[in-house]
Amino acid sequence: MTKGQIIEGVLNEMRATYSHKMRRPSEEDEEEQKVITQLEKLLRDATPDENILTCADFADLNAECCPTCHYFMFPVDMSQGVRLKTGEYAWVCCAIGSAVERAGRLVPVKRVPLEERVNPAGYKPFADFFGGSKTNDGQ
């Protein structure tokens, strides 16, 4: 399945649900554009004509798909696409992604240590957000 086919399939599923909701066409267009943007971001490393493997292509791993990724906030909760050691590109839910990783099929990704990550503007550590401090000083 190519990037275009994935985007088309997701949009077709969305359009099928529109008949059940009272929406203005402009709202539908906005929502569709957001989904297209998100899918383009998640699948950015795949070339336009490249075959993208999906969860169904990993049945041999005997893993069940993640309902949150697939149904709750699809495609927002789906992971970014990954490159396999075979050179193939895959876009899978977190559960299948974990199974693929355990099977040793992923190209190793350099993980950036937490200390080296750039914090986005406005980021506050969890404790500071609620008025606490980063250290537990007994107060």
Q: By residue range, what is the domain housing residue 42?
A: 3-109
For residue 74, tell me if it sits in a domain. Answer: yes
Structural domains in the chain (count):
1
Q: Binning pLDDT at 50, 70 and 90, where does residue 14 land?
A: confident
For residue 132, tell me if it sits in a domain. Answer: no
For residue 125, tell me if it sits in a domain. Answer: no
For residue 134, tell me if it sits in a domain. Answer: no
For residue 78, tell me if it sits in a domain. Answer: yes
SS3 42: helix
SS3 49: coil
Question: What region, left, alpha or beta, does residue 41 occupy, with left being phi > 0 and alpha being psi -120 to 50 degrees?
Answer: alpha
For residue 38, tell me if it sits in a domain. Answer: yes
Name the pairing type of β-strands 89-90 and 52-53.
parallel
Q: Write out pLDDT tens, residues 1-13.
A: 999 999 998 888 8
pTM of the model: 0.68
Q: Write out pLDDT tens, residues 53-69.
A: 999 999 999 999 988 88
For residue 18, tell me if it sits in a domain. Answer: yes
Q: Write out pLDDT tens, residues 90-128.
A: 999 989 999 999 999 988 765 555 555 555 555 555 555
